[in-house]
Amino acid sequence: MRAYVVADVFTDVPLAGNPAAVFLDAEGLSIDTMQRAARELNLSETVFVLRAEGDADAEVRIFTPATELPFAGHPVLGTAFVLGEMMGLEVVRLATGAGIVPVALTRRDGVIVDGEMEQPLPTWEPFERDEELLDALGLGSARLPIELYDNGPRHVYVVLGDEDEVAAITPDLGAIAALGAFGVSCCAISDGHVKTRMFAPALGVAEDPATGSAAGPLAVHLARHGEIAFGRQIEIRQGAEIGRPSTLYARVDGDATRLQRVLVGGSAVVVARGEYALD
């Protein structure tokens, strides 16, 4: 039997945010078993914790119901909350497929209430199939250039004029999946608050309640195009349309010529513990 914990991430109340399952000891499990377990749990991501070498406190393998990801935000943050509590750490360093991700934890009265991860720096390029993507989203145009970012997983950003446009999107998930294995973040900014929805059907996630790996590149995208200042923290709201309201915070330090740090944070709460019969 393998012990696991479920944490709702990017929320401070149960049954909101984005749930992640964290298997606390995955030593000896095959990749096939990990993938099948993630498919059975059917959460956006499931994490398997392994012993790490070097500077990391643990190694993590991250799976959606359909595939393994080198890095993902909400499972990393959720795992840091769980391991930070178990190990009494102020900073949890997790070895991912995209490198070591440190997560700084904040406690109040001895309880972890917030975490901030320093994400891998993304690269970006124009998204060449922008008209097909707009058609799949049922949109006529975007307010900023549509670009693809890569920080382990890949995300395409479609910035719209206001929050109502984002809320009204009815995507053709089959058409989006046919364009490639990436997430599509549709968003609008108002007074430093960003409303976003993220669709990743080719990765087994129709609509994600909270996407930490997309939050960092989103801040980069908005800063590069002059929508926010470098160094300014933004609040990202996601998940309302699927009944899982989430709040994420993101900041990019540096300037348009050189990124220094990409930081993404939020809260998490453990909502379940159990065991699974995995070999």
Q: What is the pLDDT of residues 177-190, one digit of tens each?
A: 999 999 999 999 98
Q: Which residue has the higher pLDDT, 33 or 204?
A: 33
pLDDT at 204: 87
**Rounded-to-integer distance, Cα 203 and Cα 214, Å:** 14
pLDDT at 238: 97
From the list 45, 118, 163, 207, the catalytic residue is: 45
Q: What are the structure tokens assigned to 176, written together?
A: 């989006």
> Could you tell me if 151 and 98 are in contact, meaning their C-beta atoms sit under 8 angstroms apart?
yes
Three-state SS for 231?
A: coil
pLDDT (tens digit per residue) in 148-178: 999 999 999 999 999 999 999 999 999 999 9
Q: How confident is the model at residue 277 (pLDDT cuts 50, 70, 90)?
A: very high
Task: State mean pLDDT over 242-267.
Answer: 96
Res 192 pLDDT > 80:
no
Res 271 pLDDT > 90:
yes
Res 210 pLDDT > 80:
yes
Q: How confident is the model at residue 256 (pLDDT cuts 50, 70, 90)?
A: confident
> Could you tell me if 76 and 117 are in contact, meaning their C-beta atoms sit under 8 angstroms apart?
yes
pLDDT at 95: 97
Rounded (10°) angle between helices 73-87 and 212-224? 120
CATH T-level fold of 2-117+266-276: Diaminopimelate Epimerase; Chain A, domain 1 (3.10.310)
> CATH classification of 123-263 is 3.40.190.10, yes or no?
no
- Kindly report, as residue ranges, where domains of CATH 3.10.310.10 are found in the chain: 2-117+266-276, 123-263
pLDDT at 166: 97
Q: How confident is the model at residue 53 (pLDDT cuts 50, 70, 90)?
A: confident
**Rounded-to-integer distance, Cα 68 and Cα 56, Å:** 20
45 is catalytic: yes
pTM beyond 0.85, yes or no: yes
